[in-house]
Chain A
């Protein structure tokens, strides 16, 4: 019996030691820096909370995450529905269309949007040649660019759980509702939508939490006009060498993510959405 325990310890041990050295200890060490400000142990959190600039950054991070989540939910709906109805070759084509972007680097996809959204880029030239606008639109280095880039990257995280929920719906329920005389809208509202909700909630949680921590895409597409919390943390480290503020910002970001995860896990059967991947 003890030999078996020893074997199990040998199997799990190396990974746990590496995890402790590369993850648990570095995080604990970083967070401890948040309390080392000369002005007092909790001064860093006060600075972050009281400065109007930092409050604006946090508000911007939150607004971007909410808008990205809502728009992803709307855009994911038709794709997930069509995926759940398609069969054969067309199903494979659509599914690969959703899965393919997952494999392409976030940096490459962000770079692609920089080329497309430029002042003289193809999208602006198309808009002007069709007469929709007279002058090139500012699509880059503001929240418009950030939203487009982030939705492009996060949309598959919404489509797959939603598709997972739709594919599990028993079509006979819809037939029964139809046969009992319910209209299309009634069937949708009272049967289809409630059955899709776990997938929608799982996807929305995924997208919202990932949005909060996004760094590469807002840094390149938004620039200094659309600063997010993660960009602020990076600038504390790289430009200002303000480790205590970076640590406090990191703690705040992680705390928000963990609290939201705990809340959604309690309120909604999120794990269904997670398993749908």
Chain B
């Protein structure tokens, strides 16, 4: 069992390779589809062109949806990171049953199906006039991103020794000075990781956005969602490629940050 017989080992490797190809290759198929010259989606393209990128950039609706997405994701990230970082630090200062309950509450948005959260948010947003606004979507996305920030910063906080805080206090530092000079420098990787995750969570999110978006505040995923149902053209592949490109950049950033965190923990 420590070494499988050759035939089984070949089978395991072949199976794993096939499954990995199944996971990765379909995503990459989006890129060639966006460079298709034809007016319909055809894979692999018979003639290549960047005409659909020009269409994407020239169309005010696609362009504004991209800017809306950036705006919503930035706002959601700021809200989630500020609230989540404070909460993670606060969680460390309570213990026992209370800590379990509060932690559970912070993680609850991950457990409740997003469709339920989206419908509930939409209903309340209608009542208070936040439906169809950038702020409404940002708040909804901040809610979904909050657990990731609390978890990320919470993990980073484990590296901060309580004795350091006591030592700083003993030397006469106030709470703010302790936070600025001891806690913060140690949890920056956790905060940055949480921020990257929040941004991509919001940028990629469709369900809350589909319910909350108004006519003029569509995000990129909402515009894609609507376009898929109306007309299945290569311009959707362009938008999808933009989303993939952004995800790859943020993924690489997160890898760099987490490798730094790993180095720190050792």
Contacts and interface: CB of A to CB of B under 8 A. Distances in A.
A124 to B, nearest CB: 11
Interface string B55-97: 0000000000000000000000001001110110111011000
B29 A79 contact: no
Interface of A: 4, 7-12, 14-16, 18-19, 22-23, 25-27, 29-30, 33, 75-79, 81-83, 94, 97-101, 103-109, 111-116, 118, 120-122, 152, 155-156, 171, 174-175, 177-178, 184, 187-188, 191-192, 209, 212-213, 215-216, 220, 230, 233-234, 237, 243, 246-247, 250, 253-254, 257-258, 261
12 contacts: A10-B86, A12-B91, A14-B87, A23-B108, A23-B120, A30-B124, A82-B12, A100-B251, A104-B247, A112-B30, A116-B43, A254-B116
B180 to A, nearest CB: 15
Contact of B16 (A82, A175, A261): A82
Contacts of A83: 16
A116 B19 CA distance: 17
A97 B106 contact: no
Interface of B: 1-2, 4-5, 11-13, 15-16, 19-20, 22-24, 26-27, 29-30, 33, 41-44, 79, 82-84, 86-87, 89-91, 93-94, 102, 105-106, 108-109, 111-117, 119-124, 127, 139-140, 142-143, 146, 150, 175, 200, 203-204, 206-207, 211, 221, 224-225, 228, 232, 236-237, 240, 243-244, 247-248, 250-251
Contacts, number: 239
B43 A254 contact: no
B124 A26 contact: yes
B143 A22 contact: yes
Contact of B20 (A94, A109, A112): A94
B247 A216 contact: no
A8 to B, nearest CB: 4
Contact of B15 (A78, A108, A152, A230): A78
A206 to B, nearest CB: 11
A212 B114 CA distance: 11
Contacts of B33: 115
Contact of B123 (A33, A82, A94): A33
Contacts of B5: 184
Contacts of A120: 42
A116 B29 contact: yes
